[in-house]
Amino acid sequence: MSDDMNYFSPHLVRLNAHPLVFGKGEPVIKALQRRHLYRYLAATEAIEIEMVNPALQFVMSSNIAPEFVLDAYKVYTDEGFHALMCMDLRNNISNGEMPYLLRYRSSALDRTLALVKTGTEPDAQLILLAIACVNETMIASSLSQATDYTVFAALRELVMAHARDEAAHNIYFTELMVDFFPRLSAREQRLLIDLMPDIFNSLHLSDKTGAENDLRAQGFSESEIQIILGETFNGEVDHEGVRRVCRSSLRMLSRCGLLDIPQAQEAFAEKGLAYLFQ
Residues that bind Fe ion (CB under 5 A): 79, 82, 166, 169
Residue 6, number of CB atoms within 10 A of its CB: 21
Residues facing 244 on adjacent strands: none
With H, G, I as helix, E, B as strand and everything else as coil, classify residue 184.
coil
Query: Least distance (Å) from Fe ion to the CB of residue 235?
Result: 27
- Pairwise CA distance, residues 278 & 239, whole Å: 14
153 or 167: CB nearest Fe ion: 167
72 or 178: CB nearest Fe ion: 72
What are the distances in angstroms from CA 49 to CA 11, 63, 74, 160? 28, 22, 15, 20
- Pairwise CA distance, residues 87 & 223, whole Å: 34
Residue 239, number of CB atoms within 10 A of its CB: 17
Residue type, 274: A
144 or 265: CB nearest Fe ion: 144
Query: Least distance (Å) from Fe ion to the CB of residue 127?
Result: 18
Cβ burial, residue 234 (10 Å; 0-12/13-18/19+): exposed
166 or 207: CB nearest Fe ion: 166
Query: Least distance (Å) from Fe ion to the CB of residue 85?
Result: 9
124 or 143: CB nearest Fe ion: 143
Please work out, in degrees rounded to the nearest 5, the angle formed at the alpha carbon of residue 136 by the alpha carbons of 134 and 142: 115
- Pairwise CA distance, residues 44 & 145, whole Å: 15
Query: Least distance (Å) from Fe ion to the CB of residue 173?
Result: 8
Nearest alpha-carbon partner for 205 in 121, 105, 129, 119: 105
17 or 160: CB nearest Fe ion: 160
- For residue 62, give the DSSP letter: S
Query: Least distance (Å) from Fe ion to the CB of residue 198?
Result: 21
Nearest alpha-carbon partner for 248 in 186, 166, 190: 166
Query: Least distance (Å) from Fe ion to the CB of residue 52?
Result: 6
79 or 188: CB nearest Fe ion: 79
- Pairwise CA distance, residues 6 & 29, whole Å: 10
Query: Least distance (Å) from Fe ion to the CB of residue 133?
Result: 11
Spatial contact of 8 and 155, defined as CB atoms under 8 Å apart: yes
79 or 198: CB nearest Fe ion: 79
Query: Least distance (Å) from Fe ion to the CB of residue 91?
Result: 19
